[in-house]
Amino acid sequence: MTLVAFDFDGTLTGSDLTVLLGREYDVAREIQGLADQGRRGDVDFERSLRQRASLLEGMPEARVRAAFERCKLRDGVADLIADLRRSDVTVAIVTGSFGRGVETALERADLAVDHLVANRLVLENGAVTGEVEGPLLAGGKDRALTELAATSGVDLGRTVAVGNGAIDLPMLRVAGTAIGFEPERVVEGYCDVVVTSIHKLRLYFEQHGVVGTA
């Protein structure tokens, strides 16, 4: 058995959910800068995410939903994930971003995964509080992958992690195979494989018997 754990922002989607929220609330430039710093590892991810969330304080829930509706999966992602699951591969999304935004993108593509580990943008009285909660604030993607493997009955050595940013490093380090998807420089050196498109990722999976050929 095999488990494949994907990062979301910048991997399964070309978007960053916090930046999409920022565009809807006219703070995109500030949020983009903080997101870039966090992805490169210039600042701690938790600090970066909390700062980004604070800029969204007061954002109406309807505008949050509108921002999440703009998030689209990369071309080929839906077919790849569906084929992985048909090949009896356990598929997980492990993201420091917001679960509701990921779920919205999956629902639009009529797609399901086996596990989603994500953070939550806190809303009260119909608006963003500026706070964020969740299991991946302090990184922890290595712990998440280890626990998912145990739950799924998959040896950690048979897991595959796919990511691109500094927050993905712990997960990439413990996975059996670490795949960088257009990775940041700080990440690339820890990857067994680097790919630059979903098509190339699929080819790698096909060549290594993870998924059947199309």
Residues classed as catalytic = 7, 9
| Dist CA 105 CA 108 (whole Å) | 5
Instruction: Name the β-bridge partners of 13.
Output: 9, 73
- Parallel, antiparallel or unpaired: strands 89-98 and 2-6: parallel
Show contacts of 30-34: CB within 8 Å, 24+ apart: 30/55, 31/55
Amino acid identity for residue 212 in this structure: G
- Residue 207, burial from CB neighbour count under 10 angstroms (0-12, 13-18, 19+): exposed
The count of C-alpha atoms lying within 13 angstroms of the C-alpha of 143, restricted to the half-sphere facing its C-beta, is: 7
In 3D space, the residue among 123, 63, 112, 114 whose CA is nearest the CA of residue 90 turns out to be 114
**Residue bearing tokens 């399901």:** 112
Which residues 6+ apart lie within 8 Å of 150 measured at CB? none
- Measured in residues, the chain has a length of 214
Q: Among all chains, which residue has been given the structure tokens 């922890």?
A: 140
Q: How far apart are CA 146 and CA 125, in angstroms?
A: 36
